Chains A and B, each alone.
Chain A
Amino acid sequence: MVKDMTIGSRLFNIVLIVILLGITLTCILPIWYTLALSLSSKAAAAGGLVWLWPVGFNLNSYRELLSDTQFFHSFWISVQRVAIGLVLNFFVVALMAYPLSRSTREFPQRNALMWILVFTMLFNGGLIPLYLTVKALGMINSIWALVLVAGATHGLVFNVILTVNFFRNLPKELEEAALVDGAGPWIMLTRVFIPLSVPVLATVSLFNIVMHWNEFLYGLIFMTREEFYPLQTYIQQLVVVFNPNILDEEQMKMMASLSNRTLNAAKVFIAMIPILAVYPFLQRYFIHGITLGSVKE
Chain B
Amino acid sequence: MKSKGFVKHYVLMLLPGYAWVIVFCVIPMFGIAIAFQDFNPVRGILGSKWSGLDTFEYMFQLDDTKTIFVNTLFIACMKIVGNLIVPLTFALMLNELRITILKRSIQTIVYLPHFLSWVILGGIVLDLFSYTGPVNQLLALFGAEPAVFFAKAPLFPYLVVGSDIWKDFGFNTIIYLAAMTGINPALYEAHAIDGGGRIKALWHITLPGIRTTVALLAVLSLGNVLNAGFDQIFNLYNPLVYSTGDIIDTWVYRAGLLDLQYELATAVGLLKSVIGLILISISYVLAYRFTNYRIF
Give the interface of A toward B (CB within 8 A). Answer: 1-2, 4, 8-9, 12-13, 16-17, 19-21, 23-24, 26-28, 30-31, 33-34, 37, 46-48, 50-51, 91-93, 95-96, 98-100, 102, 105-109, 113-114, 116-118, 120, 122-133, 136-137, 148-149, 151-153, 156-157, 160-161, 164-165, 179, 184-186, 189, 210, 213-217, 221, 232-233, 235-236, 239-240, 243-249, 252-253, 256, 261, 264-265, 267-268, 271-272, 275, 279, 282-283, 287, 290-291, 294-295
Chain B nearest CB from A282 CB (Å) reads: 7
Cβ contacts under 8 Å, A16 to chain B: 93, 96-97
Which partner residue on chain A sits nearest B265 by CB separation? A128
Task: Select which of A37, A51, A108, A217 is within 8 A of B127 by beta carbon.
Answer: A37
Whether, in the assembled complex, B155 has its beta carbon less than 8 Å from a beta carbon of chain A, the answer is no
Task: Say which one of B14-22, B66-74, B77-85 lies at the interface with A.
Answer: B14-22
Whether, in the assembled complex, B7 has its beta carbon less than 8 Å from a beta carbon of chain A, the answer is yes
Cβ contacts under 8 Å, A282 to chain B: 115
Q: A123-B29, A253-B131, A256-B131 are in contact. Are A189 and B112 (CB under 8 A)?
A: no
Q: A16-B93, A128-B265 are in contact. Are A96 and B29 (CB under 8 A)?
A: no
Question: How many residues on B have C-beta within 8 angstroms of the other chain's C-beta atoms?
Answer: 112
15 CB < 8 A contacts A-B: A34-B127, A48-B132, A48-B136, A92-B20, A107-B6, A109-B7, A126-B270, A127-B249, A128-B266, A133-B27, A133-B28, A186-B9, A235-B119, A235-B120, A243-B126
Q: A221-B257, A248-B240, A275-B116 are in contact. Are A264 and B106 (CB under 8 A)?
A: no
- Pairwise interchain contact A252-B131, C-beta atoms closer than 8 A: yes
Q: A16-B96, A123-B273, A295-B175 are in contact. Are A95 and B17 (CB under 8 A)?
A: yes
Which partner residue on chain A sits nearest B179 by CB separation? A295
Chain A nearest CB from B268 CB (Å) reads: 8
Q: A124-B28, A295-B179 are in contact. Are A107 and B7 (CB under 8 A)?
A: yes
- Pairwise interchain contact B256-A128, C-beta atoms closer than 8 A: yes
- Pairwise interchain contact A125-B109, C-beta atoms closer than 8 A: no
Q: A12-B198, A185-B13 are in contact. Are A128 and B262 (CB under 8 A)?
A: yes
Bound-complex Cα distance A71 to B115 (A): 21
Q: A13-B98, A126-B32, A126-B266 are in contact. Are A92 and B17 (CB under 8 A)?
A: yes
Bound-complex Cα distance A91 to B45 (A): 34
Cβ contacts under 8 Å, B227 to chain A: none
- Pairwise interchain contact B273-A34, C-beta atoms closer than 8 A: no
Q: A17-B97, A48-B137, A51-B137 are in contact. Are A240 and B9 (CB under 8 A)?
A: no
- Pairwise interchain contact A125-B32, C-beta atoms closer than 8 A: yes
Task: Select which of B13, B26, B174, B295 is within 8 A of A161 by beta carbon.
Answer: B295
Whether, in the assembled complex, B151 has its beta carbon less than 8 Å from a beta carbon of chain A, the answer is yes
Cβ contacts under 8 Å, B280 to chain A: 122
- Pairwise interchain contact A23-B234, C-beta atoms closer than 8 A: no
Chain A nearest CB from B256 CB (Å) reads: 5
Chain A nearest CB from B177 CB (Å) reads: 9
Chain B nearest CB from A152 CB (Å) reads: 4
Task: Select which of A96, A108, A265 is within 8 A of B17 by beta carbon.
Answer: A96
Cβ contacts under 8 Å, A24 to chain B: 106, 109-110
Chain B nearest CB from A283 CB (Å) reads: 6
Chain B nearest CB from A28 CB (Å) reads: 6
- Pairwise interchain contact A185-B112, C-beta atoms closer than 8 A: no
Bound-complex Cα distance A96 to B21 (A): 11
